[in-house]
């Protein structure tokens, strides 16, 4: 029987344990460049079996929030190289979450102040994070998007490929394709944001086409065993909706089963909210989703996420419901979360006021058990 603290190999990546630090947006990379403070933050948390970085834009067009990092400039990649070097020196493994926000953006963040792009020209009922002239942060309504032209889609897929190659060159152990939480790939997947009538719209197989073309490009560039993907079947995050999520995501995981990926990362329920959240008439059946993936021949590690505490995570691995468990907010305030989970020690409470933006306070100054003692 496997336990949460046992090592595991996922694709081409060897992990010391099955505890994963989930991607967490922190807004501390001005001009999309991660600096020394970011390197310290990730190195502090390197005892996790796997670190997944905050979502990181594959292109300027893919940016949707102020002061989030990118993968498209030399300065940003040099900054990430210092991060990966620090994590590896501390004995950890790290992958980058590759991000195109699509319509979850603002004209002030886009090249030449243009409209954000999406599967369709439907404005999201959502907000983004901007920096005011005085340096303070604020949340603002997302801008109205425009629908991508057919001729533009190959260029975005190429952006994913180039970003994947740049990530490996910057020292990452792999990449995670962000296909969750109402961002661009998810916008193509869901009928609530995709009303196209061409080859990328309509039936499920058309709406999933963009996702699989991205997966093809990335896996051919860096290898299937260094590629993971994140999906969120029923989350309402960023105005994501589809009345038949079970059929949609069953099709998605059956297609993903044809690749020898490192892992499939599943957000159960509403991201950061209720685990039993549902869209449509029936509760989502995650057990059936995993069974469909395995029946189709899929053998990637199955990573679960959303609202897991110590007891639930231990049970999920021991009962074979998951290979990996991702923790989000607990890692913000507990750099030594792995040790605390092993010892069943109390956790530091996070300061929500410092989640987005700022300096070291609420970022790199949380004490470990040893420091607290």
Nearest to 180 by CA among 251, 124, 114, 102: 102
CA–CA distance, 270 with 238 (Å, rounded to integer)? 11
The stretches of 121-230 forming alpha helices (DSSP H) are 153-169, 184-189, 204-207, 209-222
Catalytic residues: 183
SS3 at position 13: strand
Say which residues have a Cβ less than 8 Å from residue 12's Cβ, sequence separation at least 6: 174, 223, 225, 226, 262
Nearest to 100 by CA among 124, 118, 81: 118
Between the alpha carbon of residue 87 and those of residues 46, 98, 157, 226, 230, the distances in Å are 6, 18, 29, 17, 22
Whether the CB-CB separation of 332 and 355 falls below 8 Å is answered with yes
What are 83's two structure tokens? 């991060």
Nearest to 192 by CA among 253, 128, 120: 120
């Amino acid at each position: 029987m496997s336990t949460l603290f046992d090592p595991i190999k996922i694709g081409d990546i060897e992990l010391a344990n099955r505890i994963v630090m989930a991607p967490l947006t922190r807004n501390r990379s001005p001009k999309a460049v991660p600096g020394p403070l970011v390197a310290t933050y990730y190195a502090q948390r390197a005892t996790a079996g796997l670190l997944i970085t905050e979502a990181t834009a594959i292109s300027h067009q893919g940016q949707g929030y102020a002061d989030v990092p990118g993968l498209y400039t030399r300065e940003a990649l040099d900054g990430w190289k210092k991060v990966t070097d620090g994590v590896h020196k501390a004995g950890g493994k790290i992958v980058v979450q590759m991000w195109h926000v699509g319509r979850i953006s603002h004209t002030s963040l886009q090249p030449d102040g243009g409209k954000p792009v999406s599967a369709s020209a439907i404005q999201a009922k959502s907000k983004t994070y901007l920096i005011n002239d005085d340096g303070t942060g604020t949340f603002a309504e997302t801008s109205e998007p425009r629908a991508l032209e057919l001729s533009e889609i190959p260029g975005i897929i190429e952006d994913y490929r180039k970003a994947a190659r740049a990530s490996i060159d910057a020292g990452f152990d792999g990449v995670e394709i962000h296909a969750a939480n109402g961002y661009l790939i998810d916008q193509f997947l869901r009928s609530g944001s995709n009303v196209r009538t061409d080859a990328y719209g309509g039936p499920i197989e058309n709406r999933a086409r963009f996702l699989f073309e991205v997966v093809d490009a990335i896996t051919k560039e860096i290898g299937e065993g260094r590629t993971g993907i994140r999906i969120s079947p029923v989350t309402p995050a960023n105005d994501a909706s589809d009345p038949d999520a079970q059929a949609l995501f069953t099709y998605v995981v059956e297609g993903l089963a044809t690749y020898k990926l490192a892992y499939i990362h599943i957000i159960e329920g509403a991201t950061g909210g209720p685990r039993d959240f549902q869209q449509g008439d029936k509760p989502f059946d995650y057990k059936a989703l995993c069974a469909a993936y395995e029946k189709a021949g899929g053998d990637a590690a199955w990573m679960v996420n959303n609202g897991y505490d110590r007891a639930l995570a231990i049970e999920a691995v021991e009962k074979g419901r998951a290979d990996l468990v991702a923790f989000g907010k607990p890692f913000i305030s507990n750099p030594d979360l792995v040790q605390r989970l092993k010892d069943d020690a109390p956790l530091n409470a996070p300061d929500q006021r410092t989640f987005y933006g700022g300096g070291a306070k609420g970022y790199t100054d949380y004490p470990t058990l040893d420091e607290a003692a």
